[in-house]
Structure 1
């Protein structure tokens, strides 16, 4: 499994949107029974253009054996309290241990990190399993716990 990271650029947005749309739509289909769903702009490039190309973000295209399979948006801070803004891979590559390997490599890329934080939709049980059971995050708070579509789990992983 040869995973590589390449700096996300404007020319990558079109390809990444297709992957992001498939990933978020798949999650909405299996957890909500809806054909489509994701954060605003996930399906037209505005999400990735706004956040992935933000000058303060550290964003990567993710390749497996030289095939683009996903992307990630990280917020690396001087305090070494970092934030995972987004991590997505094409559904064809899910449930194969690739995401766990990607996360491990991200952690290795930022060895001075004291803690990682992220959030994920309350409805996405697969994401909960990934972040908590595979990556070692802990749920520290639940936002809007009664709202299946707007609620989210706030997660944190302290690095020892």
Structure 2
């Protein structure tokens, strides 16, 4: 277990999937409501634990269950390459009830503090999710390097990078 300011980070375990799945569903559904005006939606397996099992428990990923004041609020899944130091943020989500309070930025500060040898961070996010674009670009320092399928609101994707300068 690691503490960072008011947050607690624990390595994701299989037993955590049950508590995190409804949080992931709420987070993705909230984004879908805001940006697509649809009641629910997310990547395959976001609503039944399969996505978390597939990627969060993958042998090559590093995933953390995140808590605030002893309450589980979200998760982050990272792919760390200790040879190239080019790492990938696979997924981050927090419960909508604690969003827009700077917690996402604190989570990202924790990540950067844990992997100081990183040369570049990469991630991707749906094209429709302007809230995510704002978070990654304006709050975390990423920049957009490519937009895939820009004319398709369901399949467009922003590819982002953050180069770490020393």
Fold match (TM-score > 0.5): yes
Pairwise CA RMSD of aligned residues? 0.7
**Corresponding pairs, count:** 160
Q: Using structure 1 for the length normalisation, give the TM-score.
A: 0.98
- Distance in 1 (CA, whole Å) between partners of 2:106 and 2:53 is 26
**Residue 81 of structure 1: how far off its partner (Å):** 0.1
Match of 2:105 in 1: 100
Partner SS state of residue 43, structure 1: coil
Question: Of 61, 64, 78, which residue of structure 2 is paired with 1:57?
Answer: 61
**Residue 65 of structure 1: how far off its partner (Å):** 1.6
- Distance in 2 (CA, whole Å) between partners of 1:4 and 1:115 is 25
Match of 2:11 in 1: 7
Segments of 5+ residues of structure 2 without an aligned counterpart are none
Q: Using structure 2 for the length normalisation, give the TM-score.
A: 0.95
Segments of 5+ residues of structure 1 without an aligned counterpart are none
Alignment of 1:42-53 (within 5 A): 42-53=46-57
Match of 2:137 in 1: 132
Partner SS state of residue 40, structure 1: coil
Question: Of 154, 157, 164, which residue of structure 2 is paired with 1:149?
Answer: 154
**Residue 119 of structure 1: how far off its partner (Å):** 0.3
Match of 2:115 in 1: 110
**Residue 19 of structure 1: how far off its partner (Å):** 0.5
- Distance in 1 (CA, whole Å) between partners of 2:94 and 2:164 is 24
